[in-house]
Amino acid sequence: MVSINTLISELGKNAKTAAKSLRCATTSEKNTVLLNIAEQINQHRTNILSANQTDLENGKNKGLDNALIDRLMLDDQRLDAIIESLNQIANLPDPIGAITDLNYRPSGIQIGKMRVPLGVIGIIYESRPNVTIDAAALCLKSGNGAILRGGSEAIHSNLALYACVKNGLIDAGLNEHCIQLINTTDRAAVSALVKAGAYVDAIIPRGGKGLVEAISEAATMPVIKHLNGICHTYIDKDADTEKAINIAFNAKTRRYGVCNAMETLLVHSGAVARILPELIAQYLAKGVELRGCEQTLKLSNQILKATTNDWDTEYLDAILSIRIVTSMSDAIEHIEQHGSGHTESIVTENYTSGRRFLAEVDASSVMINASSAFADGFEYGLGAEIGISTDKFHVRGPVGLEGLTSQKFIVLGDGHIRK
């Protein structure tokens, strides 16, 4: 039996060689792979959904909570979305080789920048099998090799989807090792991967806060971090009633187990009477458990008292914290203390208040009069995302094609020598 270290070493060597060839692949070749993968998924729907059903049954037997089950689940609609995402990425401009900022220097040489792949990216993720395709597609289009390691709870789904990736590469005549999936559920593989700095140029962990922090501490290469999503919606005193109710309801209930779901609702005291009772009624009718501050508790006997920990919790479930504030400054201060830098939204008809919120709130996405559910690579026109980086370096927000690249300086001369 091959040891974990030997396995990772082999994957790393293969990835390094494949990435070198992928760096020189044409846009047409890369797009052909993406379209091939989309066709493979369409042709093998039955096998993929059967594999996913095995994972779902195993997950339920192991007691996975509803949020994780929702993340794990695939159906025809979600497969359609994956296929559409592949088509979108194929239609996006290829960032690799793009030259910008060309200018002449007094010496006569031209200086510019060329966009290039990062190299080989290790991607460690939990629950969501669609990440197998999103990660593969974005790495392929951006010219990066990738080593994927999904969660054990999704192993059958990931293997079924990866088979489509591998066949898509082979059919296009590209190196099948451009994208590789670690097929063991042994956790030692993660430890070995984050130490494989000789082969892997960057690590992207996509999962719970504990996973991200553990990998960030252990990795010997740069980490593009996706920490938790404690997202807020602030309803200002000048908010439109209908907009506020619709946005706040959608931000929480569209999907519970996603990082862009609202976890805390902040409401200005001047907007409470006309907005919050109706919102509370809608949340309760939907089955959302509400936890509120002292003032919020007065609005319904079905609301539980929020604890200090609630303001710092990413529920990923049908649970919402509500706090009434007396000013925008209080709302912004709450976000500064308890937000995770993911997505923050204000609902207001006051232009000055909206501009102030944009300027003062520090997050990877800041919104005016829009649901936090829009914080997504697909919605932002990136085709898909590998994750939403809450870091400030090297990329922030949804990580799409450009986020998986870097730039190198290029110098154009014609026999120039420096005096």
Quote the tokens at residue 408.
């190198």
Task: Give backbone dihedrals phi and psi of 311, rounded to 5 degrees, phi first.
Answer: -65, -20
Nearest CA to 211 among 259, 177, 179, 253?
A: 259
The domain ranges of the chain are: 4-226+399-412, 231-374
pLDDT, position 187: 92
Give alpha helix (H) positions in 144-291: 155-172, 188-193, 209-218, 241-253, 272-286
Question: How much is the pTM?
Answer: 0.85
> Please, where are the H alpha helices in 185-342?
188-193, 209-218, 241-253, 272-286, 294-297, 328-338
What pLDDT shows up at residue 391? 85
Residue type at position 286 = K
Candidates 3.30.1280.10, 3.40.309.10, 3.40.640.10, 3.40.50.2300; CATH matching 231-374:
3.40.309.10
**How far is it, in rounded angstroms, from Cα 302 to Cα 209?**
30
pLDDT, tens digit, 9 for 90 and up, residues 269-295: 999 999 999 999 999 999 999 999 999
At 18 the three-state DSSP class reads: helix
Whole-number pLDDT of residue 1:
60
Residues of the chain with confidence (pLDDT) below 70: 1, 383
Q: How far apart are alpha carbons 45 and 96 in whole angstroms? A: 32
CATH superfamily for 4-226+399-412 is: Aldehyde Dehydrogenase; Chain A, domain 1 (3.40.605.10)
Are 348 and 366 within 8 A, CB to CB?
no
The C-alpha R_g of the chain, in whole angstroms, comes to: 23
| CA distances in angstroms from 94 to 16, 35, 84, 182, 384, listed in the order given | 21, 15, 18, 27, 14
What is residue 209's predicted lDDT score, i.e. its pLDDT?
A: 79
Q: Which residue has the tokens 């060309």?
A: 102
Measured CA angle at 175 (ends 171, 179), to 5 deg: 95
pLDDT at 95: 95
Determine the pLDDT at residue 378. Answer: 82
CB count within 10 Å of CB 57 equals 10
Pair 355, 349: CB distance under 8 Å: no
Q: What span, in angstroms and rounded, lies between the C-alpha atoms of 24 and 174?
A: 11
Q: What is the pLDDT of residue 226?
A: 80
Task: Provide the pLDDT for residue 2.
Answer: 75
Three-class secondary structure of residue 43 per DSSP: helix
